[in-house]
Structure 1
Amino acid sequence: PSGTVTNLMNRPTVNAEQPFGLSGTDSGVPTHLLWDLSSVQFWGEQASGDWKVSIADVRAEEAGTLSSLSLRVYGSADSANDIYVFTEEGFKSQSTTVLQDESGTDTINAAVMLHDMFIDLTNGLIAAAGVTNHIAAWSMIENAITGAGNDRLDGNSAVNNLQGRDGDDTLTGGLGTDTLAGGGGVDTAIYAGAMAEFGISYDPNTKEVRVVDNLTSNGNEGTDLLSGIERLVFSDGALSLGATVGNHAPVANRTVFDAPVLVGKGMGIEFDLPTLAFSDQDEDTPGNGN
């Protein structure tokens, strides 16, 4: 229906020794053939419409007869929730793309990208490697996922899910209730209001930070859920989430540090701390304090 053409079979039984193929009368090949053919070239297309199957008999001496033909289409029901995948190939040319979407909850998935990315869902920008693709002004994209670069993701007034994955990312949910996931690296969440306008809490069970805008007169930035975010930046300052999320300082092992060491005149000391010189109740990787 969309104009895609695929070659399902090309002259069965033809080979270098039999350029015209084998016939059922002189080769033992059955005179009645049953074929079950499939193709994946129609992925992402609509099933409704007219399907055309073309069969050509290229050997004039003999004629074949088509007894029956059936078509079975596998897929899922059409959904307005779309996923738009961006790869490095989409940023190698100055010929840019304008993403157009009519409805549903939609996602830009650029998880395979290695370059630093800038995705601005408010102003409709998808940029990397000096190339900027656009989102049509009348389209609304809700979610974005980026990959290994140091990325910047800006949300819009919708309920956004922004995932930075690897790299040192900067995420801004903007207005409304959003989910911000940093992933690997040192990641930052940006808020337009002052620090005192927000309530910040940590759930040790889900390991999520909840940031609530308590003063909505300056624009309601909603209630955001954060994971994998190490730093919050407000209009009047920044906050490290180390203490907020319950990350305790390591504790020195007394059996290591309580032992007296006597140093005489003219003597030096060299002391290698054992691996378990410190313990951490947050189950961070133990170290020697260096």
Structure 2
Amino acid sequence: MKHTVLVPAWRRPDMLHACLSCLEAAAGRHVSVVVSLDRGSDPGCRSVAEQFSRRLPSIYLREMYQHPYRGNSCNVISGIKDCLKLGGDLLHIVEEDVFVARGYFDFHEAMHEAAPTAFAVSACRNQNQIRPVEQAAYLHPSYQSLGVSLRSEVAQRVTPHDTPLYYGNMMGYCSKVFTSSIIPSGHAEQDGLINRIRESLGGRTVYANRPRAFHAGFHGYNRPGTQLSGGTVAERAARILAMTSEEMNALAGELKDHEVINLEEHLSVEPEREALSATARI
């Protein structure tokens, strides 16, 4: 399969460096990476992307126009539309604070093959599932923009919403377009929009009990945590990648939900494949 990875980035060059380092370790020759810098981004993020142009086999730099819209929804939704122009089988959204393990792409390929009608596959822990799930992999009626992939024909369903009508009034737009949705009205930024598309299709997302990526955003747009200081961007990135869950959560303020995984581990996908095959037989 051919993969296109959209990496939305803004003002965390050290996390972007860590993110791209992980993608470099996991990516093969069939992976294209698009770093999409949002308006008002830290100049250090551009420098990081340029550094990786000599390290990743296929990397593109995308820069957003100046706009007044809230959050990263415009960057993500319009980025999906542009990334589809590169072609490919799977389109991934890996934000700058999501780190992938070496087996990340193999996992996504295997899960889409095992569950070809799934809406999406997420390699991160399912943040919508409170109770533990026994199966190695399972389908769940939810969506999260965390280490997630969509088949190109599914991603195409997102592109009609690349419009100022949505960006200018996300809650109002979602309530008018998705009139039957039971998703809370406040959940209307890019992940909420895509979740409503999933809901309208009756789709489900594949998750695994053993994630192949994790969310490391202990500070950022929605998280008033503690940002690292001192050292170069590369040195801070190395510090982030070396953190334990406890160290990361200590910097995360009130939202202590980070669970670090072993990024060097390349897990077999057979337990997850068998779990999804068993589900299909029921």
Q: Taking structure 2 as the reference length, what is the TM-score of the superposition?
A: 0.19
Whichever structure has more helix as a proportion of its residues is 2
Of structures 1 and 2, the larger Rg is shown by 1
Structure showing greater relative contact order (alpha-carbon pairs closer than 8 Å, 6 or more residues apart):
2
TM-score, with length taken from structure 1: 0.19
